[in-house]
Amino acid sequence: MTLTAIHLCAGTDAAKTVLALHEAGIRTITVNTSTEYRLDRFDFAPNPVPVAANVYERFRSPAMSAGRFAFCWLGALGGLALRATGARAALERACDSAGRIDFIFAHWGSGIMPEVALLKGLRALADVPVILNMETFPTAARDSARQRFESLVLRRTAPLVDGLILGTKEMAELVEREAPALLAKPTLVAPFYFPRSFTATSEPPVIPARPGDDVIFTGWADLVYSINDVRAQMLELARAGLCVHTSPTPGLEHANVKIFERFKPRAFTSGELASFMRRFRASLVTFNTDASDSSSPRFRTSLPTRLLFTLAAGVPVLIPRGRLPASERLVAEHGVGLVYSSPEEARDRLLAPSWADVQRHAYASRERFAFDVPAFLDLVAKATRA
């Protein structure tokens, strides 16, 4: 029997999970929870995915991002609040047309719990199990007050959750301290890797890489948020003698910094970006953070998307030591890259003839880092029986 799920997600962050659920053979009703933009469909390759409802049809504004957390405390009034947002009628139509709804898949973490509370306020969904995908916890990089609030939200809404996905053992330990009631539910402790559809049509790697195709950085160079400003790290590598390729970023003037045009979102799901990445010796995975800062636990527990996509593409990972502990552990355990202590160490290792062996191993290991359909379906079975 084909399972049907409501997929709660915030717009463009959902490409991975939309296609993963499809790969698992689950029929989905996709619901956009973005407070800033309306969506009619996701233009993923190979086929567009329709959006059944936009929760904030009437109240799309940045101010709603904070205010919506009040829904976690509304209880039975959630159904009335959902009517006020304008999405209740669309959701009821989607539920009626789907027939049986087997579960709600909420992506991701504490940030999606206001919308879980809203949907559980609908009579048709009150008894439908919820699987919560905790991609990141906590979401704030340096704000300890934000972490305390997220923990409060999780404790308050734990009764709404029937199954839980935690990306790392470190995250499981933090949840056990901050919201222990969640771990009483069926739990899968494993990264939510990218489905095979992201890289299935991409080209094989260039081994050894051509001269100058040393390091690629695919992260978003958003200089508004300091955590995303990794220009200093890229310049260190360039000054050490490695060619670093990145999308247009102000303040990166150096002969060894090469610029490529930013890829469109569809390139992630078509294999185009994975093919491009496989030209390079390594993919730089980093943020502007210091793991020794006790107020910044996010990267001690969570695996960033840029790491997971690099693993799915089968490209060696390059990480500066002491910034992303959970990611460093995974890379070291599986030998799929380098955690470097100095730019000179990175240069010497990447330009050595032996690095071709690391490239081959990373490419051969890519299936290890693909979405695990049987493990996910096992969790669904346990959560929907609970």
pLDDT (tens digit, 9 = 90+) per residue, 111-170? 999 999 988 888 889 999 999 999 999 987 776 788 899 999 999 999 999 999 999 999
172/293 same-domain check: no
Domain around 214: 198-369
163 shares its domain with 226: no
Specify the higher pLDDT residue, 41 or 293: 41
Phi-psi region of 3 (alpha: psi -120 to 50; beta: other; left: phi over 0): beta
The answer to whether residues 215 and 174 belong to one domain is no
**DSSP assignment of 84-98:** HHT-HHHHHHHHHHH
Is 39:137 a contact under the CB 8 Å cutoff?
no
Q: Is 39 helix (H, G, I), strand (E, B) or coil?
A: coil
State the pTM of this model: 0.93
Buried residues in 235-252 as b, exposed as e (16+ CB within 10 A): bbbbbbebbbbbeebeeb
- Compute the CA torsion angle 161, 162, 166, 172 (nearest 10 deg): 80
- Whether residue 9 is found in the same domain as residue 126: yes
Residues 338 and 318 in one domain: yes
Question: Token pair 């469109």 is at which residue?
Answer: 264
- For residue 114, say if its preceding peptide bond is cis, omega within 30 degrees of 0: no
Would you give the distance in Å from CA 184 to the centre of its chain?
A: 24
pLDDT: is 249 or 243 the higher one?
A: 243
Q: Are residues 75 and 181 in the same domain?
A: yes
Report CA-CA distances (Å) from 82 to 66, 79, 117, 123, 289: 16, 5, 10, 12, 38
Rounded Cα gap, residues 134 and 14, in angstroms: 13
Number of domains in the chain: 2
Residues 231 and 186 placed together within one structural domain of the fold = no
Same domain for 101 and 222? no
| Residues 177 and 270 both lie in one domain | no
Phi, psi (degrees; rounded to nearest 5) at 107: -130, 115
The phi, psi pair for 188, rounded to 5°, reads -110, 115
> Residues 185, 307, 326, 148: what is their CA dihedral angle, to the nearest 10 degrees?
-60
In the predicted structure, residue 292 carries a pLDDT above the cut 90: no
Torsion angle of alpha carbons 310, 269, 263, 303, nearest 10°? -30
Q: Which of 13-17, 273-277, 367-371 has the lowest mean pLDDT?
A: 13-17
pLDDT value of residue 225: 61
pLDDT interval class at 338 (50, 70, 90)? very high
247 pLDDT tier (thresholds 50, 70, 90): very high
CA 25 from centroid of its chain's CA atoms: 21
Mean pLDDT of all residues in 258-280: 92
Helix residue spans in 266-385 (DSSP H): 266-270, 272-277, 298-301, 305-313, 325-334, 343-351, 355-364, 373-385
Mean of pLDDT values over 325-333: 94
**In sequence order, which residues have a C-beta less than 8 Å from that of residue 44 and are 6 or more positions away?**
15, 18, 19, 266, 269
Q: Which residues pair with 105 in a beta bridge?
A: 7, 131
* pLDDT tens figures, 181-222: 999 999 999 999 999 988 888 999 999 999 999 999 998 766
We report the CATH number of the domain holding residue 267 as 3.40.50.2000
Please indicate, yes or no, whether residues 220 and 356 belong to a single structural domain of this protein: yes
CB 246 within 8 A of CB 262: no
204 and 66 within one domain? no
166 with 214, same domain: the answer is no
